[in-house]
Amino acid sequence: MAASVRPLVAGNWKMNGLAAAMGEFNGIKAGADKLADKAELMVCPPATLLAQFNWAAKGSKLTLGGQDCHAKVSGAHTGDIAAEMLKDAGASAVIVGHSERRTDHRETDAEVKGKAAAAHRAGLTAIVCVGEQKSQREAGETLAVVGGQLDGSLPDTATAATLVVAYEPVWAIGTGLTPTPADVAEVHAFIRKKLDERYGAEGNGMRILYGGSVKPSNAKELLGLPHVNGALVGGASLKATDFLAIAEVYAGA
Ligand code: PEP
In the DSSP assignment, the letter for residue 170 is G
Instruction: Evaluate if residue 253 carries a pLDDT over 80.
Output: no
Q: Where are the domains of the chain?
A: 8-47+81-252
Calpha distance 181→167 (Å, rounded):
13
Q: Which of 70, 98, 120, 188 is catalytic?
A: 98
First to last CA, the chain: 16
**Rounded percentage of the chain residues whose pLDDT exceeds 90:** 97
**Ligand 1 pocket test: which of 168, 228, 242 has the largest number of ligand atoms within 8 Å of its C-beta?**
168
Our answer to whether residue 100 is catalytic in this structure is no
Distance of CA 248 to the CA centre of its chain: 18
Instruction: Evaluate if residue 1 carries a pLDDT over 90.
Output: no
Residue 76 alpha carbon to ligand 1 centre in Å: 31
> What residues contact 129, with CB distance under 8 A and at least 6 apart?
95, 96, 97, 98, 99, 102, 165, 166, 168, 211, 232
Q: How confident is the model at residue 156 (pLDDT cuts 50, 70, 90)?
A: very high
133: number of Cβ within 10 Å? 16
pTM of the model: 0.98
* 174 Cβ closer than 6 Å to some ligand 1 atom: yes
DSSP letters along 15-83, please?
T---GGGHHHHHHHHHHHHHHTTT-EEEEE--HHHHHHHHHHTTTSS-EEEES--BSSSSSS-TT--BH
Residue 177 alpha carbon to ligand 1 centre in Å: 11
Q: What tens digit of pLDDT does each residue of 189-226 get? A: 999 999 999 999 999 999 999 999 999 999 999 999 99
Mean pLDDT of 14-29: 97
Instruction: Evaluate if residue 97 carries a pLDDT over 60.
Output: yes
Mean pLDDT of 161-189: 98
Domain at 8-47+81-252: CATH architecture:
Alpha-Beta Barrel (3.20)
Instruction: Evaluate if residue 3 carries a pLDDT over 70.
Output: no
Our answer to whether residue 98 is catalytic in this structure is yes
pLDDT value of position 2: 53
> What residues contact 109, with CB distance under 8 A and at least 6 apart?
97, 148, 149, 151, 152, 153
Q: What tens digit of pLDDT does each residue of 55-91 get? A: 999 999 999 999 999 999 999 999 999 999 999 999 9
**Rounded percentage of the chain residues whose pLDDT exceeds 70:** 99
